[in-house]
Amino acid sequence: MNPSRCARYALAVFAVMVALICGCGGTTFNPTPVPSSVFPQQITAGSQSFVLLINGANFQSNSVAQWNGINRPTVYNNDTTQVSVTIFATDIAAPGQGQITVTNPAPGGGVSVTPLSFIINPAAVNGPQITSLSPAYAVAGSNQNLLLAVSGTGFASTDSINWNGTPQTTTTTSSGLSTTITSENLAATALASVSIQTSAANIASPSVQFQIGPSSNAVPTLSSMSPANTKIGSVPANGYILVNGKNFVPASTVLFNGSPRSTGYVSNNQLAVVVQSSDVATGGTIAVTVSNPNPGGGASGALNFSIQ
């Protein structure tokens, strides 16, 4: 190779290396996410589905959080730069630990290096159990504080009500416990989590859902599912189906052939529903519907999920 050709070759190699290093070759490389903490950090086994907040750096609109390495429905908040992830009731049915990671797609990106641990505490024998909330829901954006009464069993005068994992000033009543939820906590459509915290740090009741939504729920409408089919004996890749449509609310429930399934609220237009191995054990179709609770509400028409 003559000297001038060698010089041109060396210059070309140098240019490629610079482009790769500085990202100035026309391709933007996604950073690797760095989760630093989760909130809440623990829950009691047997709790209902809830939303887990993840703090950290390098999150973006297409970041996806994983529970024990399996994708879960994830939403990025551009204002807080947090990601929120739906944790299903089936994920926290038994005591133990879950590992939380976050992934950004290629180019660049990748899975966060150090998983964050989430603790699932066992329910205490004869510990507190919630049986009902009054009211059962709140209207989003009403600009009024809410007196929330919690009834159940195993309550003590030293117990407190947890709202989304945070202890509230609590009063003992003849039927249980009560607290005031400020209007700031009721500003937007959401699915809150309520539990009873005992005087022992790691002993609380299983949490239950509290809907913050419209004054009257509309009847939901389904448009599509992803995926819409699977092979016999094969649960979809992430263990859940995304159900698309409109008029979904935080307390919407997806039903398979009329039977409720563990459901996660993603948005007004999307829900996630867990698929169990028993659902796909044989061939056929499952009639998938969505039900919205009172006030208003009702059931959608059905879409078929095919097992072939």
pLDDT along the chain (308 residues), means of 10: 53 47 67 97 96 97 96 93 94 97 96 97 96 95 95 96 96 96 94 95 94 93 97 93 95 96 91 95 97 94 97
234 belongs to a structural domain:
yes
Q: 281: domain range?
A: 221-307
Q: How many CB atoms lie within 10 A of CB 271?
A: 28
Distances from the Cα of 2 to the Cα of 9, 11, 14, 15, 129, angstroms: 11, 14, 18, 20, 83
- The CA distance from 54 to 120, in Å, is 17
What's 245's domain CATH number?
2.60.40.10
266 belongs to a structural domain:
yes
Indicate whether 102 and 148 sit together in one domain: no
Write out 271-294 in H/E/C secondary structure. Answer: EEEECCHHHHCCCEEEEEEEEECC
Assess contact for 163 and 170: CB atoms under 8 A: no
Indicate whether 297 and 241 sit together in one domain: yes
147 belongs to a structural domain:
yes
How many domains are contained in the chain?
4
pLDDT at site 19? 46
pLDDT (tens digit, 9 = 90+) per residue, 27-73?
Answer: 789 999 999 999 999 999 999 999 999 999 999 999 999 999 999 99
pLDDT at site 237? 85
pLDDT at site 233? 96
- Residue 98 is encoded by which pair of tokens? 């879950």
> Which of 81, 74, 84 lies closest to 31, judged by CA?
81
Q: Which of 168, 189, 211 is the endpoint of a domain?
A: 211
pLDDT (tens digit, 9 = 90+) per residue, 237-265?
Answer: 889 999 999 999 988 999 999 999 999 98
pTM, rounded to two decimals? 0.83
Indicate whether 20 and 39 sit together in one domain: no
Indicate whether 113 and 167 sit together in one domain: no
Q: Which of 121, 149, 175 is the endpoint of a domain?
A: 121
